[in-house]
Copies of this chain bind each other. A is one copy, B any other.
Amino acid sequence: MTITVAIDCMGGDHGPAVTVPAALAFVRANADARVVLVGPEETLRSCLGGAVHERVTLRHATQVVGMDEPPSLALRSKKDSSMRVAIDLVRQGEADACVSAGNTGALMAISRFVLKMLPGIDRPAICAALPTMTGHTHVLDLGANVDCSPEHLLQFGLMGASLVSAIEHHERPTVGILNIGEEEIKGNDVVKRAAELLRDSGLNFIGNVEGDGLYKGDAEVVVCDGFVGNVALKSSEGLAQMLGAFLREEFGRSTLSRIAALLAMPVLKRFKNRLDHRRYNGACLLGLKGIVVKSHGSADVFGYGFAISRAADAARTGVLARISERVAQLHPQLETA
């Protein structure tokens, strides 16, 4: 089976300077894969610089969705944008998945409009993996939905568990719900009700996970409201950046500490590699009738390659069919309030 991934080459902070070389490297490393590069043909050709590959094709698109463009405008007026054409390829069955580092809101809106939702799922959710003490955990939603009902959180649990069981070949991954542990309160009513639904869902539900539990690896899948998930993800990014900056500052403070840094370099490099956020690049937009992966806008070639791999893996392992199956099993519980 050959997997075809459509690449929105114009999305992201660096556009084709990153997306084209990443796509080339990806097909070279994956003999079962093809890519379709989407964007203005001349731009793509100049980025390829004469490189040709039988599993790389180009698809011309004249427009580009701006990083700050309102999603509704992008949806209405950018019907020939690289983003839209890449998503169209998925709908038409010409690609098995698409990847974009562009405007998240526009990607969500256009994907939803073009691909539609899977039956039984109300809203798409953004799902990504985070590193933990023991491996990694998949968290959703990371920002697509700011007001979730208990039924939405249940749907997130089904989708996240389907994704993990598909790509990690682990049939019953543990699922937790992000909550707070203050004695008096233990979460709001939505979270309490969602926990009840998850408990009755047949998933391997382990109950509440607190913020620090995300990194302890308490559960393989953690569900939360997109507002909370986004704040947890971004505050973690901010903290990691701050710690990195402090570490560099302290190692640069004196001649002696610079010598220590030199000696500690292999160790610090291993430490850095282990946490390299580029290896975690690529968030799945789950719940659509098609595979859409969002890369970080600032991703480099190395990081963008991980997003393409994630899209190909989701297609290879049949994530959509697994989500549909689980949803069908649980249909009565999924009706939203």
A residues whose Cβ falls under 8 Å from a Cβ of B: 68, 70-71, 103-106, 108-109, 131-133, 143-144, 146-147, 178, 180-185, 187-189, 210-216, 224, 226-228, 230-243, 245-247, 250-251, 253, 256-257, 259-261, 263-264, 266-268, 270-271, 274-275
Contacts and interface: CB of A to CB of B under 8 A. Distances in A.
A103 to B, nearest CB: 6
Contacts of A188: 146-147, 227
Q: Indicate how many identical chains form the complex.
A: 2
Report which residue of A105, A231, A270 has the largest number of chain B beta carbons within 10 angstroms of its beta carbon: A231
A297 to B, nearest CB: 11
B230 A146 contact: no
Contacts of A259: 263
A183 B240 contact: no
Contacts of A261: 264, 267
Given A227-B228, A231-B178, A261-B267, A211 B184 contact: no
The 9 closest A-B pairs by CB, nearest first: A211-B234, A105-B183, A212-B238, A105-B184, A211-B235, A215-B238, A180-B230, A260-B264, A146-B188
Contact of A236 (B216, B239, B251, B256): B239
Given A133-B242, A212-B234, A239-B240, A143 B182 contact: yes
A231 to B, nearest CB: 4
Secondary structure call for the A interface: helix
A180 B226 contact: yes
Given A251-B267, A266-B257, A274-B250, A184 B71 contact: yes
Report which residue of A239, A250, A275 has the largest number of chain B beta carbons within 10 angstroms of its beta carbon: A239
Contacts of A180: 143, 146, 226-227, 230-231, 234
B235 A253 contact: no
Given A188-B146, A245-B133, A267-B251, A104 B182 contact: yes
A44 to B, nearest CB: 25
A117 to B, nearest CB: 16
Contacts of A240: 239, 243
Nearest to A235: B211
Contacts of A224: 231
A267 B249 CA distance: 10
A282 to B, nearest CB: 17
Contacts of A251: 264, 267
A69 to B, nearest CB: 8
A103 B243 contact: no
A146 B243 contact: no
Report which residue of A187, A233, A267 has the largest number of chain B beta carbons within 10 angstroms of its beta carbon: A267
B235 A215 contact: yes
Given A235-B232, A239-B215, A182 B264 contact: no
Contacts of A189: 147
B239 A267 contact: no
